[in-house]
Structure 1
Amino acid sequence: MRHIILDTETTGLEWKKGNRVVEIGCVELIERRPTGRTFHKYLNPEREFEPGAQEVTGLTLEFLADKPKFAEIADEFLAFVDGAEVVAHNAAFDMGFLEHELSRLGADYGRLADRVTVQDSLALARQRYPGQRNSLDALCRRLGVDNSHRQLHGALLDAQLLAEAWLALTAGQGEIGFASSEPAPSSRAGQAAVAIAVSGPRPSISVPDEDRVLHLARVEAIRKKAGRCVWDVPEPELAQAATG
C-alpha cells in the first residue's frame, strides 16, 4: 500500500475567498515504511496573505516572489501522488485548496479526488481520543513524537511529523515503518529502494495530567452505570472471553 502524507500552507483559511496555496509538502510511505522520497515546493500565490496567515508560516511575499506558480508544478505534483492514499490532518482543508488550484488550470486536469483516495488523520484521532485536543501538536505530545523543532507551520516538516504520528496512531494495523531494518520497496520500476535504518523501540506515550484525569473520570462513569468496565477485568479472564 502506498501512502502520501500531505500538508499545505495557504494565504488564508478559505479558498472560496480566493486564497491560494503557498507551500506543499509530501512524504511517501510504502507498506508503512518511508521510502526517502518527498515532494516539497514553495509557490508564488499571486496575491497577498490574509491577516495572521503570514505569521503562522513565517513566509513572505518577497521570499515567494521568484517561486513557481502552481501551474508550473501541477504535473510533477500529480505524478507524485497519483494512485496513492493521501493522509492529511483535516483533509477537507488541504483537498479543498488543491482541488481549487487544479480547477483554475482547466478541465483537462480533472479532480484530485479521482486520482487518489483520502484518509483524514484528524477524524481518526477524534475517534480514538474523543473530547480531547487532536491538533498535530497535541497528537505529537500524546504519541511521543518529538516536535520541539516546530516553531512555525511548514508543509514538509508538518508532513514528516504527521507521518510519525499517523504511524503511531495506526500502529495496531502493522509495525511502525520507521523501525524497520528492511529496505522499502521501490515505487517506480528501476528506481533503487531506500534502506531504512534500524531505530530504537516504539516511542513511549506520555499522557498529560489533564488527559489522565479525563480518562479516569470516564472510566468511573462507566463503572457506576454498568457495575464494571473492561479495565476491571483481569487479563486471564479477558483472554478466556476472547477465545470463547
Structure 2
Amino acid sequence: MRQIVLDTETTGINPKQGNRIIEIGCVELVNRMLTGNNFHVYINPERDSEEGALAVHGLTTEFLSTKPKFAEIVDEFRAYIQGAELIIHNAPFDMGFLNHEFSLAKLPSFDSHVHGVIDTLVQAKEMRPGKRNSLDALCDHFGISNAHRKLHGALLDAELLADVYLAMTRGQNSLGMDVEEEIVSHDGALEDVALGEIIVLAASADELAAHEDVLNALDKGVKGTCVWRTAPAA
C-alpha cells in the first residue's frame, strides 16, 4: 500500500478570500515503511501572507518571490500523489486549499487524483477524547522529538506526522485472523483489503507435558477439576 503523508503552508486560513498555498511537503510510506521518496516545494503565491500566517511559517514574500508558481509545479505534484492514500492532520484545511489550487489551474479536483484520505486529527480525537491533539501535543504523547520545530514547515511537519501516524496505528493489523479490513476510498465506497497471513506455531511435546503438569497441580490445589479442563457450555 502506498501512502503519502502531506502538509501545506498557506498565506492565510481561507482560500475563498484569495489565500494560496506557499509550501507543500510530502513523505512517502510503502507498506508502512518510510521510503525516502519525498516531495517538497516552495511556491510563489503572488500575494503577501497574512500577519498571523507569517508568524506561523516565517516564509516572507521576498523569499517566495523567486519560487515557481503553482501552475509550474502541478504536473510533477500530480504524478507524485496519483493513486496514493493521503494522511493529513486536519484534512479539510489542506484539501480545501489543494482543491482550490487545482480549480484555479483548471484541473480535475485534487481529491479525484488520490485513493482516499486519513485524517489523523479525527483519529487522535477518537483515541484521546477531550485532550489537546495538535501535532506538537501528539509528538509529546508518543515520545517523538520535535525540539527542532521552531516554525511550521510543510516537509518537517509531514515527517513528524508520519512518525505520529505510525505510532498511533502500531499493531493495528496484528490480529487479522483471516478477516478483511474495510477502507473508505475518496468516493465513499468500501473496499476490502486482505490482511497478512497469521503464522501459528504448535506447542512442542515438552511444552505440552509442562502444561499438563501445571494443570495437574491446579487440580490438586482445588481438590477437583480446574476450570481449564472443563468443557465450555454448548
The two structures have a TM-score, normalised by structure 1, of 0.70
Task: Give the aligned CA root-mean-square deviation in angstroms.
Answer: 1.3
The structural deviation recorded for 1:174 is 4.8
Tell me the secondary structure at the aligned position of residue 46 of structure 1: coil
Larger radius of gyration: 2
Equivalence for 2:118 = 119
**For residues 172 and 64 of structure 2, what CA distance do their matches in structure 1 show?**
40
**For residues 78 and 171 of structure 2, what CA distance do their matches in structure 1 show?**
30
Equivalence for 1:99 = 99
The two structures have a TM-score, normalised by structure 2, of 0.73
The structural deviation recorded for 1:84 is 0.5
Equivalence for 2:137 = 138
Tell me the secondary structure at the aligned position of residue 3 of structure 1: strand
Tell me the secondary structure at the aligned position of residue 52 of structure 1: helix
Equivalence for 1:11 = 11
Tell me the secondary structure at the aligned position of residue 66 of structure 1: coil
Q: Size of the alignment, in residue pairs? A: 174
| Identical amino acids, percent of aligned pairs | 59
Equivalence for 1:29 = 29
Give unmatched runs, 5+ long, in structure 2. Answer: 175-234
**For residues 79 and 174 of structure 1, what CA distance do their matches in structure 2 show?**
29
Q: Residue type matched to 1:113 in 2?
A: D
**For residues 66 and 45 of structure 2, what CA distance do their matches in structure 1 show?**
11
Equivalence for 2:198 = none
**Cα deviation digits, residues 189-242 of structure 1 (max 9, x gap):** xxxxxxxxxxxxxxxxxxxxxxxxxxxxxxxxxxxxxxxxxxxxxxxxxxxxxx
Give unmatched runs, 5+ long, in structure 1. Answer: 176-244
The structural deviation recorded for 1:111 is 1.1
**For residues 91 and 140 of structure 2, what CA distance do their matches in structure 1 show?**
21
Tell me the secondary structure at the aligned position of residue 26 of structure 1: strand
Q: Residue type matched to 1:8 in 2?
A: T
Equivalence for 2:73 = 73
**Cα deviation digits, residues 15-64 of structure 1 (max 9, x gap):** 11110000000000000001110000000000111121111101101000
